[in-house]
Amino acid sequence: MAYKTLIHTVKGSVANITLNRPDRYNALNRQMVEELLEVVLACHEDRAVRAVVLMGAGQAFCAGGDVRGFIEHTNTITLHVKRLLMSLHSVITCICRMSKPVIAGVGGVAAGAGMGLVMACDLAVAAESARFTMAYTKIGATPDASSSYFLPRLVGLRRAMELTFTNRVLTAEEAKEWGLVNRVVPDAELVTVVDAMANELAAGPTPALGRAKRLLFMSDHASLETQMENEAQLIALSSQTADFREGVQAFIEKRTPAFSGRE
């Protein structure tokens, strides 16, 4: 399907989604959010896709919500914001519940909801030029796009308060030190590094990766005993898969496993 605000391609087992409003620093308007929801759902359902990459076109990853567009909805701003967030929050839920790994490749600014999207992805690689800022209180708004959920979990409550109250801009290296991104690479290497990471994950045991992701999310609200029971149930399911049998056989034969990504 052709999208007006996104570029969506699939190469091998990796789906690439590029936010494509470079003239507006990939700011999220209603059309982009609705198209993003559609393409994320498609990636979720496509069994051939085993890893997903999210990036931005031009000089930014995503500048957050399209604040300029808010002016056009002055008389119905509450309704406009709620409609926008219904779709955006569904996007984030889908990313977090997806069994495939989702990688953010961040070049330029990731602000507001753009920063929220980065935090919602499973892994994040930043170019040296990347900058991160919450930006919400700068316009008298409060956080959305899962920011208030992920930020304190990634950086701690004190730092989350600082970033939210002051809109401090973090460099890529600071974002790595604070736990917002996994790696920082030269700008010219961003696409190559993210592509290599995605292909490595796409060759992995997809069901096991999805269940591991699920377990890590469960750990936020489970007791030790409950979490160990969750682990027991999911490893029992994993032991029934073709990938598990292949992994065990490859270990015995001292070779690299060839995972199919199937149950």
Residue 69's pLDDT is: 77
Contacts for 243-252: CB closer than 8 Å, 24+ residues apart:
243/205, 243/206, 243/207, 243/208, 244/205, 244/208, 247/205
What is the C-alpha to C-alpha distance for residues 48 and 61, in angstroms, rounded to an integer? 26
Residue 185's pLDDT is: 98
pTM as predicted: 0.94
Q: Where would I find the beta strands (DSSP E) of 72-153?
A: 102-106, 109-111, 123-127, 131-133
Contact 56, 19 (CB under 8 A): yes
Question: What residues act catalytically?
Answer: 89, 144
Q: Extract the tokens encoding 98.
A: 């997806």
Contact 190, 181 (CB under 8 A): no
Q: Extract the tokens encoding 47.
A: 């069994």
Residue range 153-202, pLDDT digits in tens: 999 999 999 999 999 999 999 999 999 999 999 999 999 999 999 999 99
Which residues of the chain fall short of a pLDDT of 50? none
What is the C-alpha to C-alpha distance for residues 234 and 243, in angstroms, rounded to an integer? 14
Residue 36's pLDDT is: 98
According to CATH, the topology of domain 6-202 is: 2-enoyl-CoA Hydratase; Chain A, domain 1 (3.90.226)
Length reported for the chain:
263
Residue 74's pLDDT is: 74
- What residue ranges do the domains of the chain occupy? 6-202, 206-253
The set of residues, in sequence order, having a beta carbon less than 8 Å from that of 89 and lying 6+ positions away, is: 144, 145, 146
Contact 117, 145 (CB under 8 A): yes
Residue 48's pLDDT is: 96
Residue 67's pLDDT is: 83
Residue 216's pLDDT is: 96
